[in-house]
Each structure stands twice: as structure tokens, then as C-alpha cells.
Structure 1
Amino acid sequence: MTDTQSPQITRDLYLEDVTVGDRFVSGEHALDAEQIKTFAAQYDPQPFHLDEAAGAQSLFGGLAASGWHTAAITMKLFVASMPFAEGLIGAGVEVTWPKPTRADDVLHVESTVQEIKHSRSRPGRGIVTVETLTLNQDGEIRQRLVSRMVMFSRPEG
């Protein structure tokens, strides 16, 4: 596994610090066949994730990473690049995989704030909707994740 680490981010953004259109870009994660097969053997043991020949005969036309593997890598990169003060607390997601992730892909994520809704029933928090695109080295989308996250206002005092 190869990672290009993002500098350590300071988790200092609160609800009042973000606006629609804010964009965050992660470091990179280089994928290889061994990672794909290891993840698949443990979590998604289907032939097209475990074997090049089976992958070649499948809809994917070659060894393909599990969508859940792509999602796990996305989450790692997403967390490392989003400086929300109290972490990323999920309230729901929609995920799509427009193209399979391959063994030679170098992935990064680009996240954009789409919507901010302040809670009426729970002052001091809101729901922030973020679109996160997982892109390979050629800028091709491998995963699209739209997540709704709980975000808190800055503590008083």
C-alpha cells in the first residue's frame, strides 16, 4: 500500500465556518492487485475481485476492486482531508460507482459542501451535505459519495 500523506490537518472548522461551495482535496492512495485481493478475500469474496482471469470474463473486463474497498479508501482520504472540529459524524449517505476501481489506480478525493441546514430543534448543530468524488490519476470518477453529516457550532466561551 502506498499513501501520499496529507499534512496533519487541524480539526478546527465549526458549522459557522463552512459555506456552500467550500472544497477540500485529499492526499493520494496507490492501489495494487494485492490490496484488491486481500480486501476481497476478507470482505467481498467474489471471483472478479479475487482473480484476474475471472475478472476478465466478468462484466468488469478485468480485476476490479470491491466497491466497498473503494468506499473504505475514500473514507480514509475523506477523514484526513475534512477539518471538521468534532470529526465526521454520518447521518446518511448515497454512494455510486460509475466505473470499477483498478489495481493501477492512484486515488484521491475532492469534497465540496453542497448544502447546510441549521437544526431548529437542536440549537448548536446542523446537517452539512458534502459531495465527495473519488478520482483516479486520470481524473476519472471511481465513486461518488453524497453524505449528510452532523456538524456542531463553536462552543461558547
Structure 2
Amino acid sequence: MQYFEDIEVGAKDRFGSYAVTREEVVDFARKYDPQPFHLSDEAAAETHFGRLSASGWHTCAMTMAMLVENMKTKQQAGLGSPGLDELRWLKPVYPGDTLRCESEVLDKRASKSRPEMGSFRSRTTVFNQDDVPVMTFVSTGLIRRRP
């Protein structure tokens, strides 16, 4: 199990592989972001996207799936997150893309009010199959301290 004490500032990690499908892009858009360029090839062709593209929020959700799978693999003693900062959608994500993540731990601190936990901040960059960054953000993770 990975605890707060095991987190190293500057540590980098590469993980994940998520194949983006047309069906999932359209389904997500119908439910959560029904803008025409996420729903229709014809509407998307008339925009700067040029073709059907995934919602940025869908890109966040796909990234979350990769993050959780990575936490399971590492057996991290995670306790959730109070949020993220600096979210940037850099390039469109299209059906047929395959996404992956890279992260770097920026800093960490033990909680003064909750001695059983600490937090750490990390910058995550999401890349497509051509190693082009498509999204970045800084997140804060809460994690148990070693018993």
C-alpha cells in the first residue's frame, strides 16, 4: 500500500491507455454537453474542430478512469480530492484517439488538523497517440498517513 510517507516530490509516472470511441463521444455529449460539434459530423465540420470532437468534460472523465485504475494498481491509500486547478484543454480529442497520462508530484504536506492524512499536488498531462498534449491540470490528492 502506498501512503503519504511514500510520496516523493518530483516523482513522475506514466500510465493509462484509453481508446476514444465515436459512440462514447456522442453518448456523453447527449447526456452532459449537447453542443452540436460533439453530436454531429456536419455541425462539427463547420467549426474550428473540423470533425466530431469529444467534450472537454468527457476528456476529464476518461482521464479520471485512467487515474483510478492507476491508483488501484499502486494500491494507493487515497482519500479523494478537494479539487483541481489550472485545467486546460489544449487540443481537441477525437474518436479514434488513444489517450494516456503523465504526472509529476509538485509538493506534499501533512495535515495539521487531521494527523491521519496528508495531501499532495501533482500536475497531470494527458497525451494522444501522437504524444501531443491534449489536456493539463494540477490536482490535490488526499492520502492516508502510515498507521
* TM, length-normalised to structure 1: 0.85
1:100 aligned to which of 87, 92, 96: 92
Q: Which amino acid aligns with 2:129?
A: Q
List structure 1 segments (4+ residues) > 2 angstroms apart after TM superposition.
Answer: 82-88
Quick one: higher RCO (CA 8 Å, sep 6+), 1 or 2?
2
Partner residue in 2 for 1:91: 82
Mapped to 2, the partners of 1:91 and 1:28 lie a distance apart of: 25
Alignment counterpart, residue 123 of structure 2, candidates 111, 131, 136: 131
RMSD: 1.4
- Using the aligned pairs only, state the percent identity: 40
Unaligned runs of 5+ in 1: 1-11
**Paired amino acid for 1:65:** A
Q: Which runs of 5+ in 2 are unaligned?
A: none
- Please tell me whether residue 21 in structure 1 is matched to residue 10 in structure 2: yes
Q: Which whole-Å deviations, capped at 9, do the CAs of 1:77-123 have from their partners, x for residues lacking one?
A: 01111335333511110221011111121001112111111222222
Q: Distance in 1 between matches of 2:7 and 2:97?
A: 31
Kindly tell me the number of residue pairs found equivalent between the two proteins. Answer: 144
Alpha-carbon contact 1:49-1:65 (below 8 Å) kept: yes
TM-score scaled by length of structure 2: 0.90
